[in-house]
C-alpha cells in the first residue's frame, strides 16, 4: 500500500528531476569560454494522450494547470519520436513492423495526439530572449505554454520557434511556482499527399503500406540569448589559384532592441580535425532593429581542402563567433564547415540541348568525382522513435566499407538529421539530395501553397549548406511522371532551383529521370538520365545482361538501378510470423515480396528458382541481387567518363521489407552487399562479357578492363586470369603485364578467347587478380557463368513474362500481393510447397 508520505516523496523526486536552471549571464569570459544557453527538452519525460479530433480543446487539455500532476498518468512518450512507437511501447498497439500489424494500426491516424511536458525554471530571464524551438514536427501542431496559446505550424522539414520569456513561470526556490506546463497538440495527419507535397514525406510507395507517420520528430529546446542573437551563420568560401582560400562569414543577426546599436563581434577559426594556428578577427557593426546580414572575410593563406574519401582528406574547420554589447556576451554560435568547390561539366559524347539539358559530371576542387552511390531510402526507420543516432554512424560506415563515395537522398524521403551530414563530412561521403520530398507530380498550383513549398526548401538548404558533403541538389524524383501539366511542372522545378541556388552555389538538376513521355512534353531531352528499373518491372522481357546492354545504355548518369531481394532468415523471423515463414504466407506480400519476380530473378542468374528450402531461396535472392548489381555496375562504369555516376536503388529502406535494400532494416548487410563492394572498388579489375549462358562447343570470349577512380597512376602491374570448371579444376590460366594504369581512367587491356568449355557440365568460374609492381594485390574480382543456350533461355523468359502478366492482371495488378499465393493457397486455404525447379508463372 502506498502511503501519503510515499506519494509526496515520489512527487518531489519527480519535481527535482525536471528542474531546468539557467546560468547567470556571462559578462567577462573570453570567446572560447562562452556558451549559448540551450536547454534540451528532449527525452523520456514527455507524456501523451489520445483525443478525438477537436475534443482536446473542448475538454480543456490546453489549459492544464502547470502545478497539476494529472499528466503523470498519461502514457510515457519520447521526444524526438513518433506516436506509433510511443503507442507500441505503451502496449496499446502491436509492433507495426511485425506481420500485418500495420493494417491494425491504421486507426491511429484518425485521432489527434496531445503531448505534454512539465519542467521548472529557477533563474531570472529579465532583459533576455527565450525561444522555445521545435526542430521538426510531423506534420501540423498547435502549442501552449502555461495556458498561453503560442501558435500553429505546418510542415515537417523546417524549424519554428516562439518567444516565451513573458510566459515562463520562474522561481529560484519554490519548485511549484517555477513549474511550467508545455502542451503540444498534433493534428490528425494528412491523408492526401498532393495537398502537402514538399512539406511532408510521402508515406506510400513500393515498400510501405498505408500508415501516415506522425510525431514530434526532432528535438525541442529552450534557447536563451541577449537582445541581439544569431539567426544563421554561413561559412561561404572560395578557393584561390594560389592555394589560399577566403572564408566569407555571412552572419545573419536579429537586433530586438527598438533602436540601432553598435555591437562587437569576435570570430575565431580553428581546425576541427587538424592543427592550425588559430585565426581571430574582431570588428564592430551598428545593427538597426530587425534582421540583417553582416559579412566578414577571413583569409586563409594555406587552405586545407575537404575531399571525398577516395580523393583526399576530410579537413574540417570550426568558426566560433560571439556578439557582445559592451562586455556582455549576447549570443555565441559555433559552425563546422569544410572548404571545397563543387562544379559541374558536360559529359563527353552528349550534345547540349540535343541529347541533354544539364551537365551531369561533378567536379570537386577541380577533380572528377565519379559517383558510386545508392539511394538512402531512409530515415533508418519510418518510425523515427526507433532510430538512434548510432544507427546513422553505423550505416554510413557500412556504406563507405561497401566502397560507396556518395549517398543519394531522393524525393520519396526527407532531408536528414544533422548527425547524418556530420558523419558524411567526417567520413568523406558526398550527398546528392532532393532538397524536399516531391515524389509526386500532384502539387498545389496556387501561388500561396507554392510559396510555402519554396520557403520549406530554402529552410532545408540553409540548415545544411555548411556541410561540405552536400554536393548536388535535385528538385524532384519521378515528379514529371505524374505532373498533370508538363509545362507547369517544369516551371515549378526551375523556380525551386532558383530559390535554392540563391542561398547556396551548388549544381542543381530539376528532376529524375526526365526521359518519360511527360518529361519529353516539358521539353527535356531524350538522354538526360536513365532509371534502370525496367528489368524488374518488365521481368521476363530480357535476361539481365541483355537488358542493361541494350535498354539502359548510353546515358550520362544512372540515378536509380533497382533489383530486389529478401532479408536473411535471421531478420525474417523478426517481422514474419513463424507460421508464415515457409512456404511464404501473406505477410511476405504485405512486406512487398514479389514472389513471382524473385523466382524469375533467381532463375535468370542460377538457372533454377532455388526453392529447396527457406535458406536456399533467401540466399539465392540476395546473391541474384548482388550478381545483377555487380554485372550492371561494371558495365556502366566502363562508360566512364561519358557516364559520370550510378545510384543503386536502394542502400536501405525505412521498414523491414523484401524489396530494394542492400542493408536490411536491422542493419544486417545482405549477400548483395559484398557483390556491390567488389563492383564499387575505386580501382577495379573487371571482365567484359556479352552473355552468361555459353555452349560447350563455342569459345569463351571477353575483355579484361581496369577502371581507376583514384587520382593516382599504377605502373608495372600484373593481371592474373583463371577459369575453373564445376569441380574446381583450373581449365585456363594466364598472366598479363600492364605498363601503366592511368589515373581517373577506364580502359580495356586484354581480349580473352578460350576454347575450354567442352569439359564443363553446368557452370564455370572466372577469377581476376590485379597486383602492383611489388606483388601486392590491389584489386580482385570473380564471376560465374552457366552452360546453356542464351536464345532459348530468352525465349523461355519471354513466355514466363506473359504468364506473369496474365496472373497479375487477373488478381489485382502490381501492388496487390494476393496473386503471388494463388497456386499454393488452395480454395480451402490449405497451402502446399511445390518441389518443381522449372520456371512457372504461378505457384511456388
Say what the pLDDT of residue 40 is: 95
Q: What is the three-class DSSP state of 439?
A: coil
Contact predicate 545/692, CB 8 Å: yes
Strand partners, 783: 766
Give the CA distances from residue 645 to residues 46, 436, 602, in Å, rounded to whole numbers and listed in that order. Answer: 45, 22, 27
- What is the CATH architecture of 342-676? Alpha-Beta Barrel (3.20)
Bridge partners, residue 43, by sequence:
79
Which residues, 6 or more positions from 46, have their beta carbon under 8 angstroms from its beta carbon? 76, 77, 78, 79, 115, 116, 117, 216
**598/267 Cα distance (integer angstroms):** 58
Residues linked to residue 267 through DSSP beta bridges, in sequence order: 281, 321
Q: Chain centroid to CA 208: how far?
A: 16
Residues comprising the chain, all counted: 844
Give the separation between CA 148 and CA 131, rounded to whole angstroms.
14
d(CA 786, CA 796): 16
Q: Which three cell numbers stand for residue 840?
A: 512457372
For residue 767, with 0-12 CB atoms within 10 Å meaning exposed, 13-18 middle and 19 or more buried, which class applies? middle
**Residue-level pLDDT at 144:** 98
Give the C-alpha distances (Å, rounded to integers) separating 496 from 150, 344, 459, 464, 778: 30, 19, 12, 17, 44
Please report the pLDDT score of residue 800 as a whole number: 95
DSSP, residue by residue, 4-59: HHHHHHHHHHHHHHTEE-PPPPPSS--GGG---EEEE--EEEEEEEEE-TTHHHHH
As a three-state string, the secondary structure of 151-211 is EEEECCCCCEEEECCCCCCECCCCCCCCEEEEEEEECCCCCCHHHCECCECCCCCCCCCCC
Q: Are the beta carbons of 315 and 281 closer than 8 angstroms?
A: no
| Phi-psi category of residue 835: left, alpha or beta, with phi > 0 → left and psi -120 to 50 → alpha | alpha
DSSP per residue over 591-658, as a string? TT--HHHHHHHHHHHHSS---SSHHHHHHHHHHHHHHHHHHHHHHHHTTTTTS-EEEEE-S--SS--S
Q: Are 371 and 648 in contact (CB under 8 A)?
A: no
- Dist. CA 423–CA 399, nearest whole Å: 12
In degrees and rounded to multiples of 5, residue 257 shows phi and psi of: -65, 160
- Cβ burial 29-51 (10 Å sphere, 16+ → b, else e): eebeebebbebebbeebbbbbbb
User: In the sheet that 328-337 helps form, which strands lie side by side, from edge to edge?
Assistant: 279-287, 261-271, 317-325, 328-337
pLDDT in the model for residue 123: 86
d(CA 306, CA 446): 42
Task: Identify the residue whose cell numbers are 566502363.
Answer: 638
If we measure between CA atoms, which residue out of 19, 21, 66 comes closest to residue 45? 19
Cα distances (Å, whole numbers) of residue 646 to 33, 375, 431, 559, 561: 46, 10, 13, 6, 7
Q: Kind of pairing, strands 290-300 and 342-345?
A: unpaired
Q: Do the beta carbons of residue 130 and residue 229 sit within 8 Å?
A: no
Strand, coil or helix: what is 276?
A: coil
* Alpha carbon of residue 42 to chain centroid: 23
Query: Per the structure block, which three cell numbers stand in for 381?
Result: 526507420
Distance CA 521, CA 538 (A): 24
CA distances from 822 to 348, 537, 602 (A): 50, 20, 20
Q: How many helices (H) and strands (E) does the chain have?
A: 17, 39
What's the CATH number of domain 228-337, 1.10.760.10, 3.40.30.10, 3.10.560.10, 2.60.40.10? 2.60.40.10
- DSSP letter assigned to residue 314: B
- Domain borders along the chain are 4-224, 228-337, 342-676, 684-790
> Which architecture does CATH list for 4-224?
Sandwich (2.60)
Indicate if 684-790 has the same CATH topology as 4-224: no
Among 181, 147, 162, residue whose Cα is nearest residue 60:
147
Distance of CA 186 to the CA centre of its chain: 25
Please give the grid coordinates belonging to residue 85: 512507437
Q: Could you tell me which of 146, 95, 137, 135 has the C-alpha nearest to residue 112?
A: 137
pLDDT digits (tens, 9 = 90+) for 694-749: 999 999 999 999 999 999 999 999 999 999 999 999 999 999 999 999 999 999 99
Ranges in the chain, pLDDT < 70: 1-36, 815, 818-844
Give residue 791's region: left, alpha or beta (phi > 0; psi -120 to 50).
alpha
Query: β-pairing, 430-434 with 730-741?
Result: unpaired
| Topology, domain 684-790 | Immunoglobulin-like (2.60.40)
Q: Which helix (H) or strand (E) holds 810?
A: helix 790-810
C-alpha span between 117 and 184 (Å, rounded) = 9
DSSP state of 511: -
Strand locations in 725-824, DSSP E?
A: 730-741, 745-754, 763-771, 777-787
Provide the pLDDT for residue 439: 78
> How many angstroms separate the CA atoms of 190 and 200, rounded?
9
Distance CA 683, CA 687 (A): 14
Q: Quick one: which of 536, 483, 532, 534 has its CA closest to 511? A: 483
Amino acid at each position: 500500500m502506498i502511503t501519503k508520505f510515499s506519494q509526496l516523496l515520489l512527487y518531489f523526486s519527480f519535481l527535482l528531476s525536471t528542474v531546468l536552471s539557467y546560468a547567470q549571464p556571462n559578462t567577462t569570459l573570453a570567446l572560447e569560454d562562452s556558451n549559448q544557453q540551450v536547454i534540451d527538452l528532449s527525452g523520456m519525460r514527455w507524456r501523451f494522450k489520445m483525443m478525438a479530433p477537436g475534443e482536446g480543446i473542448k475538454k480543456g487539455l490546453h489549459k492544464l494547470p502547470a502545478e497539476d500532476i494529472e499528466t503523470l498518468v498519461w502514457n510515457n512518450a519520447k521526444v524526438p519520436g513518433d506516436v506509433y512507437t510511443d503507442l507500441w511501447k505503451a502496449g496499446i498497439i502491436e509492433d507495426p513492423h511485425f506481420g500485418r500489424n500495420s493494417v491494425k494500426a491504421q486507426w491511429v491516424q484518425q485521432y489527434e495526439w496531445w503531448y505534454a511536458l512539465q519542467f521548472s525554471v529557477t533563474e531570472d530571464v529579465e532583459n533576455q530572449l527565450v525561444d522555445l524551438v521545435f526542430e521538426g514536427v510531423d506534420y501540423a501542431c498547435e502549442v501552449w505554454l502555461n495556458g498561453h496559446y503560442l501558435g500553429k505550424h505546418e510542415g515537417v522539414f523546417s524549424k519554428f520557434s516562439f518567444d516565451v520569456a513573458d510566459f515562463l513561470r520562474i522561481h529560484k526556490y519554490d519548485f511549484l511556482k517555477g513549474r511550467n506546463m508545455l502542451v503540444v497538440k498534433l493534428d490528425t495527419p494528412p491523408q492526401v499527399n498532393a495537398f502537402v507535397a514538399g512539406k511532408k514525406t510521402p508515406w506510400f510507395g513500393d515498400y510501405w503500406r498505408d500508415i501516415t507517420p506522425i510525431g514530434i520528430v526532432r528535438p525541442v529546446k529552450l534557447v536563451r540569448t541577449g537582445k541581439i542573437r544569431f539567426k544563421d551563420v554561413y561559412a561561404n568560401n572560395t578557393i584561390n589559384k594560389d592555394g589560399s582560400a577566403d572564408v566569407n562569414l555571412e552572419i545573419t543577426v536579429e537586433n530586438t532592441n527598438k533602436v540601432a546599436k553598435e555591437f562587437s563581434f569576435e570570430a575565431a577559426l580553428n581546425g576541427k580535425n587538424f592543427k592550425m594556428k588559430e585565426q581571430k578577427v574582431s570588428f564592430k557593426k551598428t545593427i538597426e532593429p530587425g534582421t540583417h546580414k553582416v559579412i566578414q572575410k577571413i583569409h586563409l593563406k594555406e587552405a586545407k581542402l575537404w575531399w571525398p574519401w577516395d580523393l583526399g582528406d576530410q579537413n574540417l574547420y570550426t568558426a566560433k563567433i560571439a556578439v557582445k554589447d559592451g562586455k556582455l556576451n549576447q549570443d555565441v554560435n559555433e559552425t563546422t564547415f569544410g572548404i571545397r568547390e563543387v562544379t559541374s561539366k558536360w559529359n563527353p559524347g552528349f550534345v547540349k540541348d540535343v541529347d541533354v539539358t544539364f551537365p551531369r559530371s561533378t567536379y570537386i576542387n577541380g577533380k572528377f568525382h565519379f559517383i558510386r552511390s545508392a539511394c538512402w531510402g531512409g530515415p533508418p526507420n519510418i518510425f523515427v522513435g526507433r532510430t538512434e543516432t548510432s544507427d546513422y554512424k553505423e550505416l554510413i560506415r557500412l556504406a563507405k566499407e561497401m566502397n560507396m563515395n556518395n549517398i543519394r537522398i531522393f524525393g520519396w524521403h526527407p532531408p536528414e538529421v544533422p548527425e547524418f551530414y556530420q558523419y558524411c563530412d567526417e567520413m568523406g561521403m558526398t550527398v546528392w539530395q532532393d532538397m524536399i520530398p516531391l515524389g509526386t507530380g500532384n502539387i498545389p498550383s496556387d501561388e500561396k501553397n507554392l510559396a510555402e513549398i519554396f520557403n520549406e526548401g530554402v529552410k532545408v538548404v540553409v540548415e545544411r549548406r555548411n556541410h561540405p558533403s552536400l554536393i548536388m541538389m535535385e528538385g524532384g524524383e519521378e515528379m514529371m511522371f505524374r505532373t498533370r501539366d508538363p509545362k507547369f511542372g517544369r516551371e515549378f522545378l526551375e523556380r525551386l532551383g532558383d530559390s535554392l541556388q540563391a542561398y547556396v552555389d551548388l549544381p542543381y538538376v530539376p528532376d529524375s529521370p526526365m526521359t518519360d513521355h511527360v518529361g519529353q512534353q516539358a521539353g527535356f531531352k531524350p538522354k538526360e538520365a536513365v532509371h534502370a528499373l525496367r528489368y524488374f518491372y518488365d521481368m521476363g522481357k530480357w535476361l539481365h545482361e541483355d537488358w542493361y546492354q541494350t535498354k539502359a545504355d548510353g546515358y550520362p548518369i544512372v540515378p536509380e538501378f533497382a533489383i530486389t531481394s529478401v532479408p536473411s532468415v535471421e531478420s525474417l523471423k523478426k517481422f514474419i510470423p513463424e507460421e508464415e515463414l515457409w512456404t511464404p504466407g501473406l505477410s511476405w506480400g504485405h512486406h512487398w515480396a514479389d514472389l513471382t519476380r524473385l523466382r524469375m530473378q533467381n532463375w535468370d542468374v542460377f538457372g533454377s528458382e532455388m526453392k529447396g528450402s527457406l535458406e536456399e531461396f533467401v540466399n539465392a535472392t540476395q546473391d541474384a541481387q548482388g550478381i545483377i548489381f555487380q554485372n550492371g555496375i561494371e558495365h556502366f562504369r566502363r562508360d566512364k567518363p561519358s557516364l559520370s555516376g550510378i545510384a543503386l536503388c536502394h542502400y536501405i529502406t525505412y521498414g523491414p521489407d523484401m524489396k530494394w535494400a542492400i542493408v536490411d532494416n536491422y542493419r544486417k548487410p545482405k549477400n548483395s552487399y559484398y557483390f556491390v563492394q567488389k563492383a564499387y572498388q575505386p580501382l577495379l579489375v573487371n571482365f567484359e562479357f556479352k552473355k552468361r549462358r555459353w555452349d560447350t562447343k563455342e569459345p569463351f570470349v571477353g575483355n579484361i578492363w581496369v577502371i581507376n577512380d583514384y587520382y593516382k597512376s599504377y605502373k608495372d602491374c600484373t593481371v592474373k586470369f583463371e577459369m575453373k570448371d564445376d569441380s574446381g579444376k583450373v581449365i585456363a590460366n594466364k598472366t598479363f603485364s600492364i605498363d601503366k594504369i592511368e589515373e581517373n581512367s577506364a580502359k580495356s587491356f586484354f581480349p580473352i578467347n578460350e576454347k575450354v568449355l567442352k569439359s564443363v557440365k553446368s557452370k564455370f568460374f572466372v577469377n581476376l587478380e590485379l597486383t602492383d609492381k611489388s606483388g601486392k594485390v590491389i584489386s580482385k574480382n570473380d564471376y560465374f557463368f552457366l552452360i546453356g543456350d542464351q536464345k532459348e533461355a530468352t525465349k523461355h523468359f519471354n513466355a514466363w513474362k506473359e504468364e506473369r502478366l496474365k496472373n497479375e492482371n487477373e488478381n489485382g495488378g502490381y501492388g496487390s500481393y494476393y496473386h503471388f499465393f494463388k497456386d499454393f493457397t488452395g480454395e480451402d486455404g490449405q497451402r502446399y510447397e511445390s518441389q518443381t525447379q522449372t520456371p512457372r508463372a504461378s505457384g511456388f
